[in-house]
Amino acid sequence: MTILAALLFFGLPLLLVVMRRIFPVMRVVNAIIPAYVLGLALSFILPHTEPVAAIQDGVSSVTVALSIPLMLFAVDVRRWFQAGREALASLVIATLSVIVAITAGHLVLHAALPESAVVGGLLMGVYTGGTPNLAALRLALEVDTSLYLTVHTVDLMVSALYILVVLAFGRGLIRRFGTRGGTHASSLGASKQPAVGPTSAPAAAHPEELDFDTIVAPGNRRAGAAALGAALGVVALGVGISFLVPAEQRTVVTILSLTTLALAATLLPGVSRLTTSFKIGEFFILVFSVTVGSMAEVERILAASPVIIAYMTIVVFGSLTIHFLLATLFRIRTGTILATSVAAVCSPPFVGMLAPVVRDPQIIAAGITTGIIGYAVGTYLGVFTAWMLTLL
């Protein structure tokens, strides 16, 4: 049964990738959603025994550890400032807005949700970065599996509502406020192609937009093997560093060390040419999603959802309101506000959905860039926020 479980954890994501290739309509939905659904289905089938639990814990921990460097290898730190002053200012304001909204939610709901400090850390990670940060913070903050799955499930619901609101009302906001101040698009500093990802990536694609087929393409197999080797090296070094601190701090030190080492590695010329590393890391996130989904206790998820829904609604729409008001005060254009906000709340690939609303490719490019920056810093911010909230 343990061998079968391990095969399912890796085989189902592979089947999902194949199905998405055969049926293009499946690509409309983020692959993480069906991966979680498959994992939840497994939770009703797999026996809750110690050997299976050990496999689940081992697979989830290893896949997250490997996904962190693999996905961050695609970040080109030296190009961050090409997002432009306006977009970077909007990113800073968005981050501060999320912190304020999370703190407010924690103070209001702490009595009903004792784990609100930890949940706040998770929300900080996912609403500045994305699912990879959420997965890393699950380990760093030692979050209960049911609580983690509740947060992620509710995040999918609230984020979907958020993007619908932005698409429905964004154009009207731009018509009303878009001409008030701000910098003209040509001065944003973003190149005509988004300034993210490895320099050798195709000019029209960002790392997160590449297809899974690129992993096994003949010209990319050697790069993929090199990316895995480099990721294993980063993981080994990060784990080694964690043994320099007390045992109770090793998990969080490991996660932060992996993030720091991976970002440092992007400054090496060879790493910037590992064009498929992001997609390999994303596949490991799918494996993680299926595995963690199989650990779910559905009753606990349903029982905890109402309070967490309230918390996340406060965070998402509260931070959007604060972000809009402050950014408008600093004369940042509405299109830039929406692009950076969507990148933070929903992750970079969703910024492209704003194209009919914003109608400015430079702003779309800058929004995607700020989203990639969020991937890089989200884990740090999540750990800091959880620690800060425990002091309140």
Q: Say what the pLDDT of residue 304 is.
A: 62
Q: Say what the pLDDT of residue 205 is.
A: 42
Q: Say what the pLDDT of residue 83 is.
A: 64
CB 294 within 8 A of CB 46: yes
Nearest to 308 by CA among 170, 173, 143: 143
SS3 content of the chain, % helix, strand, coil (to 5): 80, 0, 20
Q: Say what the pLDDT of residue 184 is.
A: 39
Nearest to 154 by CA among 8, 310, 352: 310
Neighbours of 234 (CB within 10 A): 26
Q: Say what the pLDDT of residue 198 is.
A: 35
Backbone φ and ψ for 205, nearest 5 degrees, come out as -130, 145
In the chain, the amino acid numbered 122 is L
Per-residue pLDDT of the chain (392 residues; tens, 9 = 90+): 778 888 999 999 999 988 988 888 887 777 888 898 899 899 888 887 888 889 999 999 999 999 999 988 877 776 666 667 888 999 999 999 999 999 999 999 999 999 999 999 999 999 998 888 999 999 999 998 888 988 988 888 888 888 888 888 887 877 777 544 444 333 333 333 333 333 333 333 444 445 666 776 777 888 889 999 999 999 999 999 999 999 888 899 999 999 999 989 988 888 877 878 888 998 999 999 899 889 877 666 666 678 898 999 999 999 989 999 999 899 898 888 988 998 888 877 778 778 778 877 778 878 888 888 999 999 999 999 999 999 98
- C-alpha to C-alpha distance for 68 and 233, rounded to whole angstroms: 12
